[in-house]
Amino acid sequence: MRTPEGTNGRVPGAEEGPRGAAARLTGTSVRGVRRLSGAVAEADLDDGRSVMVKRGDAPGAVRAEAAGLRWLAEADAVAVPAVHGHDETWLVTDRIPTAAPTAAAATRLGRDLAALHTAGAPAFGAPPADGPRDAYIGLAPMRNTPGTDWPTWYADHRVLPYLRTAVDQGTLGHSEAAVVERLCARLPDLAGPAEPPARLHGDLWNGNVLWGSDGNAWLIDPAAHGGHRETDLAMLRLFGCPHLDRVLAAYQEATPLADGWADRIGLHQLFPLLVHTVLFGGAYANQVLTAAREAG
């Protein structure tokens, strides 16, 4: 990784804490800081604002997340925190006050997701305009390589790279990997009608949905790229989401999904399940095999 000139190989902000990063990136002094985890803190600014301060140590991770938030915001569809500043190490965004999820917020989320996806992307795998191709989904590297044919792109750039890593790690055996490879070979017949690239959040599990006290569902921590809209919805189902039936009903009313979408949920869940297998080990391997067998 090339480092900025004049830093003697040090990344700006790398030795700084969240208080200093918040003050520097917002241009406002900080009254107090509350650590939420090793990488995330809340900071209260002297001008009355409260912001989130997040550290990302992987090269390009902060830039990718900031670009993703801006790209989603440009669609003027979903609620996302504003980016107040970032460098290669720190990201400062709005702090979103939260409340219990409601059916009304879930209905609004379904309509908003439909509008986000309709905003589109230049290609499958296209990164945000100012975002890096080498991005991340959670802690896993995710390369955004554009393609025009979704089944081929999904197999080559989402499923198979993580499958190979899982095999190299010993988490999946060669015979188990063959089940997924056979499914990939059949993707053109299983993917449903061709659709244009959608503008995806890209990591839309329930933990990345904040139910705001303002009545909106706010989306955080994107792995934004151009993809198939069913992927976001399948990921939202994967680990459960409050009032998911309301989300899907509102989505269907706004932009109906192609016939057979429910049969393709496992197909679209393969990617996040393989990411989890690579990051967290064999507990997810059986889910990968189940999804592949049911999808095929």
Residues belonging to the active site: 203
**3-state SS class at 99:** coil
- 111-132 as b/e, with b when 16 or more CB fall inside 10 Å? bbbbbbbeeebebbbbbbeebb
Query: At a CB cut-off of 8 Å and minimum separation 6, what does 246 contact?
Result: 103, 106, 107, 110
CA distance 57 to 50: 23
Give the tokens for residue 19: 């208080």
Question: What is the edge-to-edge ordering of all strands in the sheet holding 50-55?
Answer: 30-35, 40-45, 50-55, 90-94, 83-86
- The strand ranges marked E within the chain are 30-35, 40-45, 50-55, 83-86, 90-94, 134-137, 140-143, 198-200, 209-211, 217-219, 225-227
Instruction: Judge whether 252 and 261 are in contact, CB under 8 Å.
Output: no
Instruction: Judge whether 197 and 121 are in contact, CB under 8 Å.
Output: yes
With tokens 């933990």, the residue in question is 207
The residue type at 95: R
